[in-house]
Amino acid sequence: MARSLVIAALLSVACDGSIIAATPGASAGPPGSTPPMVGGTGGSGSETGSGGSGTGGGATNCESAVPPARLWRLSHAQYDLTVQALLGTTDAPAESFELQAAGSGFQNGADTSYVSANLAQQYFAAAEGLAAAAMRAPAKVLPCTPASPADTACVKRFIDAFGRQVFREPLDAARAATYFSLYQSASTPARGVELVIAAMLQSPYFLYRRELGAPAAHGATVPLTSYELASALSFLLWDQGPDDALLDAAARDAVPGEVERLLADPRAKGFAWRFFSQDFELDRISHLTKDVTVFPAFTDALQADLSAEAEAFVNHVTWSSTGTLSELLTADYSLLNARLGALYGVTVSGSAFTKTALPSGQRSGLLTQAGLLAVHGDDRSGSPVQRGLFVRSNLLCQEMPAPPPNVADTLELPGAVKTTRQRYEAHLQNPTCSACHKLMDPIGFGFENFDGIGRWRTTENGVAVDVRGNLSTTKTIDGPFTGAVELGQRLASAPEVSDCVATGWFRYALGRVETHGDGCSLATVRAKFKDSGTRLSELVRSIISTPAFNQRVKP
Q: Provide the minimum distance between the beta carbon of 482 and another protein in the complex, in angstroms, as a whole number.
A: 28
The residue (of 119 and 484) whose beta carbon lies closer to another protein is: 119
**End-to-end Cα separation, the chain, in angstroms:** 31
Closer by beta carbon to another protein, 316 or else 427: 427
Q: Least CB distance from residue 393 to another protein, whole Å? A: 9
Cα separation values, 125 from 163, 175, 209, 406, 429, Å: 20, 23, 21, 47, 58
| CA separation for the pair 93, 73 (Å, rounded) | 16
Pairing of strands 459-460, 463-464: antiparallel
- Phi-psi map region of 211: left, alpha, beta (phi>0 left; psi -120 to 50 alpha): beta
> Closest CB to another protein among 167 and 529?
167
Please report how close the Cβ of residue 521 comes to another protein at its closest, in angstroms.
19
In angstroms, give the least distance from the CB of 311 to another protein.
16
- The answer to whether 473 and 439 are in contact (CB under 8 A) is yes
CA–CA distances in Å: residue 152 to residues 77, 161, 180, 182, 366: 35, 14, 9, 13, 57
Q: Which is nearer to another protein, 25 or 442 (CB)?
A: 25
Choose between 122 and 542: whose C-beta lies nearer to another protein. 122
Amino acid at 184: Q
187 vs 320, beta carbon nearer another protein: 187
Half-sphere exposure at residue 413, Cβ-oriented, CA atoms within 13 angstroms: 1
What residues does 333 pair with on adjacent strands?
357
For residue 209, the 8-state DSSP code is E
Compute CA distances 53 → 46, 530, 535, whole Å.
14, 11, 18
In whole angstroms, the minimum distance from the beta carbon of 364 to another protein comes to: 25
In whole angstroms, the minimum distance from the beta carbon of 490 to another protein comes to 26
70: left (phi over 0), alpha (psi -120 to 50) or beta: beta
Q: Which is nearer to another protein, 282 or 331 (CB)?
A: 282
DSSP label of 148: S
In whole angstroms, how close is the CB of 508 to another protein at the nearest point? 13
- Report, in Å, the least distance between residue 101 CB and another protein: 5
83 and 201 Cβ atoms separated by less than 8 Å = yes
Closest to another protein by CB, 70 vs 541, is 70
